[in-house]
Structure 1
């Protein structure tokens, strides 16, 4: 019975062991920790996986990304379960030792029950005794023993007898998994019973089938391991190739920058050489003028030493007629316009490089929806026309462009112009809803992209981020840097608010209402009335009919725009703010007929 109990418990232990296996090292958990998405890993495995990362932390199992490095805490419940499982393993080792001892005992010879000295060669199941060749002879010679059933030597004959009826086991009950005698059949008449040999053949066939399945599983495991190694090698080779390509690209960038530097420095050096050559020429002219003046001084000094009055007067008259012009130094300057143009070209190049680097660094992968990945925005080639959506610099006055709607939801990027900035591209964000923030009356559907108000409470599990007083819900993605754009469709009714908020906004009480605190900004539709709300201050807006709203968030520029996305882009309102925290899309549904849907931006 103990063996039977162990056989029944072994599949449960195997299943439990599979559940307590780390998906990184494929071993039983060692100091298990839990990440925010709910998966568990060994603390050392997770630390090693995230060792070389400074951002873009993700779950190794489901690839869910996190805004920052999660705080890893020991899962005490799993630790206790692992300890109990390991304790069961120690018990299994003890049973293995006992089994080994039983096997050693089974290897010992079976002695004759008559002489107790010679080894038995056969056992009589009728006499319930084992005999050596000498004492077995009557069973072969005497007709009285002709009907006795002989078999190879059996060590413990009592195990083959029914303890209740003291008769040999002849049948097997598959329902109770036990051997029974002929008298036990009366108690098992409703069970499926079969002779021992037939039951043995059936069990043997099942075990062989199980062995074949285990062999196939083992081969599949080996193939999977080889596949993992192959993919790992391919990833390493791909990464090496990408590194080489990146080095080549950056070397080319450095060469281009150095060439630009040399060209700019050459312009300044040539201008310097031109001006210095002029100065050298003037210096030579002034030297000649100096020699001419010195020669005239020498002649006058010689004339003053003349004693003959006639000769003196002749020389004096001649010297007085000699005139020398004053030394003149013309104004010589470098071409300031040329120098300034060269310097400005360097400044412009620096700004372009800084802008490109900021765009590449500030793009956050945690702002992408978990279901899919979007391609990075394409950079237009030089002198190639690009379709742009032009918004006026002063958005407070509502001057907008008339670009069609399809440009926003058919491109990965939304190209925009602002007066104080160069043309920039906004990331088209596929926003999904965060289930853990949804109020108990907010129903989420269509893969967390559609929200509505339920007539009854949905009894969501308690979560510290869940709204408790207002039927509100936040987006799963957060944005801290860069420019981002998403669209919301008003499917039914207009009793709703669309906006943004900090993750630290209150989740309960009056301060948890969107736009009624300093941590949120929103546009509110109350039937035909439209208002802008921030810090509990309302500003009435002109009524505009719209079924799709675009939200453009400029984290670095410090503003958020709300647009109507129809045949023309029309500005609803612009909020200006210095965002000090990560910003989340936020939604508030007032009545049960309100339905909002997040538009999925096509790549």
Structure 2
């Protein structure tokens, strides 16, 4: 675009003179718009010549050097209307020195209110009366020369409403966003005014001229107004839309419109102001994430250690059972061998006796068969003697051996089996419950999970006074001169704790002995602090107990549950289990109510006190 007042035409003349001089042509007199003869020339006259005709007098030289095309691109930019970003058509200039297409300028003025004056679209200078529009002959002549010489320099002119010029070097461009359109080198940026993709080398001249540069992949169409096809130069702050100069006369007529650069800078300032808060939030989330990861690692290690311990116990139990069974089998075998040895001896003795009796019986059978008296009597003496010996035989008195009894050993094994069966049945019914979870004893809760919350003064309503130790909140009924703060409650006399929980187990207590009217509980850290939607227990982001004299109730999301509470508790205890999603409320060692919800997001203890009542105090729990 053009710069300050009266510089547009001057800059163009400077480019013409500079370029002509560099190419060895005759100097150009700006005042007379004529080329002067060399001082060494024999002729003293002047030669009238069309301005800038020598600018394109060496097409062969320009075609052989890619830098010449870059120079052409720079000059073509000076021939571009700052409103439509296209070649001037019927160029005119204002008293401030800036030039435009006649149609572009008149359209811009037509779209504005009549009493708004006549404004330069470039420098925004206001002219109370419509200025006289004079044709810029220099620019018009330059454009004519460009169009006449376009075929010699690979310039493709597309005749649109105001004309449009694309710089091409023959057919070198591969039509890809990855290559320079001048040398086929690697693309670096796209020049928006020139609509050309350049490498780093050919980009320098565009940078020096202050052209707008974008990434090669950005489409020019995305930088133009959809409705008018003009370059986007303005930003409407009322509806947050991008727009061209022509858009200012339509639906944005009375809107607050600023330049893109101003909107860009303001938005960067807004983001910069929010950046610390986002960084702090990231640090807080990162800290909580590290805490969760540490707990996950601890859970993995704890589980692994428990499994290793159980494996060791299984090995010991198996070893003990095996040794016990082996010992009992050995004892059984020993007792069996002892009894079998005794029985064997008895069996041998009885066998010998049986053999003797068989022999006596055989002798007697033989004697009975001997019919001769002499023969019978002759052997009777020996027979009687043997019978006398046999008559002394009596039944062997057997000592009864003890019965093998292993019932005691079997009973021990049965007890071990029963113990294991009961253990397995208990595991199958459900996971082993945490000992503190099974019995909610407040002494254990204080010892294991005790917390001592402190209040945040910047969150306190102006009719609340906070004690020096940040643990007591008292309603005053009169406003304190607290500074404005986004976290301060503005409707209800409430205050929140500095402590913020989103994982683990936490227990704290609140002393309400001096208060007959209060609400205490928790709220999401994200709960609003302004307006009627911030009442504790009356929205989906808060949970609380309500004490009104000797009546008590539980409140959440505008739902009330009446509670039966014996006596008048002096303390309320709160046990928050984030993973289980439970908030257990105690009143003097008795469970009053259990809230259930998603407490894996940051929550804070909160208090609502009334100006007609006494103070409410967070109890300092010493582990």
TM-score range, shorter chain: 0.3 to 0.5
Which TM-score applies when normalising by structure 1?
0.35
Larger gyration radius, structure 1 or structure 2: 2
Instruction: Report 1 or 2 for greater relative contact order, CA contacts < 8 Å, sequence distance ≥ 6.
Output: 1
